[in-house]
A and B are shown apart, each in its own frame.
Chain A
Amino acid sequence: MTYQTSRRGFLTAAAASATILAVGYRPDGVLAATGEAASLNPFVKISGDGTVTAVLKHFEMGQGTTTGLTTLIAEELDADWSAIEFEFAPADNKRYKNLAFGSQGTGGSTAIANSFGQYRSAAAAARAVIVQAAAAEWGVKPDAISIEDGVLKSGNRSAGFGDFITAAAKLDAPAEPTLKAPEDFRLIGKATLPRKDSAAKTDGSAKFGLDMRVPGMARAVILRSPKFGGTLKSFDIGRAKKVSGFIDAKEMPGKSGVAIFGETTWAALSARGEINAEWDFSKAETRGTDDMLADAIKSLDAPSWQAGKEKDAGVSAKAIKGAAKTVEAEFHFPLLAHAPMEPSNCIIEKTAGGVTVHDGCQFPALAQPTVAAILGLKPEQVTVNTVYAGGSFGRRANPTADYQAEAAMAFALLGGERAVQLVWSREDDIKGGYYRPMAVHKARIGVDEDGNITGWDHRIASNSIMKGTPFESFLVHDGVDHSSVEGAADTPYAIPAMTVGLSDITTPMRTLWWRSVGHTHSAYAMESLVDMAAEAAGKDPLEMRLELLKDAGADGKRLSAVLKLAAEKAGWGGTLSQGRGRGIALHKSFDSYVAEVVEVSVDDGDVRIEKVTCAVDCGIAINPDVIKAQIEGGLGYGLGAIMRNHVTMTDGVVDQSNFPDYEPLRITDMPAVEVHIVESAEAPTGIGEPGTPPIGPALANAIYAATGERITRLPMSENGISFA
């Protein structure tokens, strides 16, 4: 893989403008072909030697974009999969905007969904102008030319793309190029297409942000307030001066902390350990998480807003009153850190006319203007060099662009000449906030004598992720942050007389989306409650769900299909040996439908998660093996958290600090996983996140089936469950 900054790209194109064909979209959205790649910021480039390069507007954090978007280009271009290359796009908020939310960034499991038409059209346009150029040169009709693995053929003539790019770059790209019919796909849907990033990630050569090196670079770490919202009163360099490689320590703007500079990361980290700071906690969060939880529970007596379709809070209570049976439960969800393997970091380097940010950058649309504003530059003076990101799970997409902002401040503090690499340690990461919000769900459900639900009173208290961010206007309506109630307030189940109340937990502590956002807690509550209601109704959990989906329209059909498929493949209803239990859960998120069946064994009180059987409908499956990997990883990510992760605070100070007390899922915890993909002709939908929501409730339901114990407080390990 090669990366070109737009400036270098421009020079390349200017020096040899005839040796590249670039196809992309002009700012007005019209497809264009040109010989000047940099002026267009294209989606596909073809060079004189025939090399095809897909330009990726989405970064790679493991979800498979480098394979997925490249597949879309290679498919419509009929390029050779083994030879096609990719590079990450520069910052260009017009051309490279995410069509799902209007600015350049990756998130919400949208990379494939929003690129499906766009990338294929760009590649189809490239194909069209190449074929047109070849047809003119060979004196044949365009439809007499075929392309296979990057080789054009007509009669006994054959040639590569490179032979026609000069002529093709002078042609007008078709406004609406013809796309392949699904039956003609040869790469899309192929089960064994190898990942494009496998080789570099298995020999140590793949460069992540933390691996980037620029000449003369200093390292910076930051000493932050031990309580969220605290500010720096004073600090004493102390013995830091004696640390070999220590450069300097300076107060951060806004008294947010102390930036400590070193010639190496170890020097900066060691020096930080020698610095004493005094903090002002007058505006800080000084409660413990137990107090925050108690406040949240109390707020549910009178929720601030009604978030469901039914706005009259009294409707559910009335419908539940007099029911033959009632089900009641309260669920507690802790704060969670994302803990991606690569902690937050980035480099700010002074380059001609501005700076370059070297970063596994998830949201160039936020990072670029944030860095520019801090350094007094125009956004276009900030070049974003996107590199591989060592995981994110939401952490790298921050509305405040927190670590890029810190890096820019540190760069300015050191003088604005020398490049600075800002590094977060694992302790910084675990203690640093931007957590998955705490949440409390409380529900009362009425069930009549025939086993039908009569009403459902659901109440949620959580930290709002979106309020106070640029996303507020899109995702907060009438006080309700949709991300606090998604998956519950908009449940696809046809539940009568359902109300969903919401209260916000407010605190100076910062929260952030965490793989599958609100669904991380709403699915657990909803799918545990459906099982509890089924038991009260005397029904099988599968039967209960299918009934609730009968009148649920198109969603109901697709949910029923994945549910039945997962149940069938898992042998739902079949007998199990003593000490074993099965649980099922179903959830729609990011427009995809996932059902998971968990089988557990319990030996001497220790729970072992034996197997998870999954069925997923995410529309047309572009890369089936990547989809399987995302379901495996998505449920694994959820499992670790549900089993034993929580961030707690005592008097405002985070109790955990690193992996020993924020223990990640280990290979010994990982169950066998079987993934079945529903064949579909629908447009592709999300896959990075939808595997996560159902795993918690499927596990909880399996443990209930095996032990009779219903777990409503997370993590499970802190609430009476020990895992083998």
Chain B
Amino acid sequence: MAIKLKINGEERDVSAPPSTPLLWVLRDELDMTGTKFGCGVASCGACTIHVDGVPTRSCQLTLEGAQASEITTIEGASGKVAKAVQDAWRELDVVQCGYCQSGQIMSAIGLLSETSKPTDEDIDDAMYGNACRCATYVRIRSAIHHAAKTLEG
């Protein structure tokens, strides 16, 4: 009894219990490992994906709950905003261990898609839930401002 998901523009059939968190469906059923497990309780943001364009913690969304939505993961991040964010991350060498950065980038893309010129307060609100144990926060903030400038043209 497969459940159909739409991930990164493609239809995928998944045979797993409907209550399985989408995080584990992505990682263990579909081997899409860019989305990370960090806490399992929506407290670190490492598993952030977009559900109909909105940054969402995939550890809290079930397979069943995801079937009606357009899912985007880091592997499918594309478009002007995504490119600006990823380029900014690379230009400023934001990453250290890198484990949380898929989630950080998905949250930042969500922010800049809604708010083209975010203030520091906007960044605080959007990024608060994305923990980085390497504490790359100074560069995350700078990279978001940098990406916003790029998008301004």
Instruction: List A residues at the B interface (Cβ < 8 Å).
Output: 60-64, 194-195, 197-208, 210-211, 213, 219, 244-245, 264-266, 269, 339-343, 388-393, 425-426, 625-626, 629, 632-633, 635-637, 639-640, 658-660, 664-668, 670, 672-673
With A658-B43, A659-B43 in contact, is A632–B74 under 8 Å at CB?
no
| Tier of interface size on chain B | 35 or more
B-chain residues with CB within 8 Å of residue A389 when the two chains form the complex: 97
Judge whether B150 is part of the interface by a CB distance below 8 angstroms: no
User: What does the 1/0 interface line of B74-97 toward A look like (CB < 8 Å)?
Assistant: 110100000000100110011111
Which among A205, A390, A668 has the greatest number of chain B C-beta atoms within 10 A? A390
**With known contacts A202-B105, A264-B28, A667-B124, A633–B136 Cβ distance under 8 A:** yes
Interface centre among A203, A245, A341, A393 (most CB of B within 10 A): A341
Would B141 and A207 count as touching, CB distance under 8 A?
A: no
Write out the residue numbers on chain B whose beta carbons fall within 8 Å of the beta carbon of A665. Answer: 131, 135, 137
* Residues 102-134 of B at the A interface (beta carbon under 8 Å): 102, 105, 123-124, 127-128, 130-134
10 contacts between A and B (CB under 8 A): A197-B98, A198-B93, A201-B101, A244-B16, A244-B17, A265-B24, A341-B46, A637-B134, A666-B137, A670-B138
Q: In the complex, are the beta carbons of B74 and A203 less than 8 A apart? A: yes
Question: Which B residues, 23 to 78, have Cβ-Cβ distances below 8 Å to chain A?
Answer: 24, 27-29, 31-41, 43-44, 46, 73-75, 77
Partner of B130, one of A62, A204, A667, A673: A667
Classify the interface of chain A: helix, strand, loop or mixed.
loop
Expressed in whole angstroms, the minimum distance between the Cβ of A247 and any Cβ of chain B is 14
How many Å from the CB of B75 to the closest CB on chain A? 5
Complex partner residue of A391 from B34, B41, B97, CB under 8 angstroms: B97
Q: How far is the CB of A94 from chain B (nearest CB, A)?
A: 29
- Asked if B5 lies at the interface with its beta carbon under 8 angstroms from chain A, I say no
Which of chain B's residues has its CB closest to A269's CB?
B40
- B52 smallest CB distance to A (angstroms): 20
In the complex, A501→B101 CA distance in Å?
44
Contacts of B73 in A (CB 8 A): 204
How far is B85's CA from A204's CA once the two chains are assembled, in angstroms?
14
The one of B75, B99, B123 that contacts A390, using a Cβ cutoff of 8 Å: B99
Question: In angstroms, how far is the closest chain A Cβ from the Cβ of B151?
Answer: 17
**Residue B148 CB within 8 A of the other chain:** no
B-side contacts of A199, CB under 8 Å = 90
Q: Is the CB of B131 within 8 A of A664?
A: yes
Report Cα–Cα, A245/B28, bound state, in Å: 12
**Pick the contact of A672 from B41, B128, B138 — CB < 8 Å?**
B138
Q: Are B133 and A339 in contact (CB under 8 A)?
A: yes
Question: Is there contact, CB below 8 Å, between B96 and A63?
Answer: yes
Q: Give Cα distance in the complex from A666 to B129, angstroms.
A: 8
Contact across chains for B128 and A265 when beta carbons are under 8 A apart: no
Shortest CB distance A653–B (Å): 19
Residue of A nearest to B105 (CB): A202
Is the Cβ of B74 less than 8 Å from the Cβ of A341?
no
Chain A nearest CB from B20 CB (Å) reads: 5
Out of A266, A633, A673, name the residue touching B28 (CB < 8 Å).
A266
B41 and A342 within 8 A (CB) = no
Contact partner of A341 (CB less than 8 A), chosen from B29, B38, B123, is B38
User: Is the CB–CB distance between A632 and B36 below 8 Å?
Assistant: no
| Chain B positions within 8 Å of A666 at CB level | 128, 131, 137
Closest to B137 in A: A670
A633:B33 contact, CB within 8 angstroms: no
**Do B137 and A667 have beta carbons less than 8 Å apart?**
yes
Bound Cα distance from A636 to B17, whole angstroms: 40
Residues of A within 8 A of B96 (CB): 62-64, 391, 629, 633
Partner of B36, one of A198, A205, A341: A341
CA A364 to CA B145, docked complex, whole Å: 41
CB of B134 within 8 A of CB of A391, answer yes
Is B7 among interface residues, defined by CB-CB distance under 8 A? no
Contact B127 A201, beta carbon cutoff 8 Å: no
Given known A-B contacts A266-B28, A341-B44, A390-B36, A629 and B98 have beta carbons under 8 A apart: no
Do B93 and A625 touch (CB < 8 A)? yes
A245 → chain B closest CB, angstroms: 8
Contact call B127/A667, Cβ cutoff below 8 A: yes
The CA of A198 and the CA of B86, in the complex, are separated in Å by 10
| A40 CA to B34 CA, complexed, in Å | 35
Q: Are A341 and B24 in contact (CB under 8 A)?
A: no
* Docked complex Cα distance between A699 and B84 (Å): 36
Report chain A residues within 8 Å CB of B86.
202-203
Known: A201-B101, A659-B43, A667-B127. A640 touches B93 (CB 8 A): no
Q: Is the CB of B135 within 8 A of A670?
A: yes
Contacts of B41 in A (CB 8 A): 426, 658-660
Q: Which residues of A contact B28 (CB under 8 A)?
A: 219, 264-266
- The answer to whether A664 and B93 touch (CB under 8 A), given A204-B35, A629-B139, is no
Most chain B C-beta atoms within 10 Å of own C-beta, residue among A245, A390, A659, A667: A667
B24 and A266 form a contact (CB under 8 A): yes
Q: Are A265 and B37 in contact (CB under 8 A)?
A: yes
| Residue in A343, A390, A391, A629 whose beta carbon sits within 8 Å of that of B93 in the complex | A629
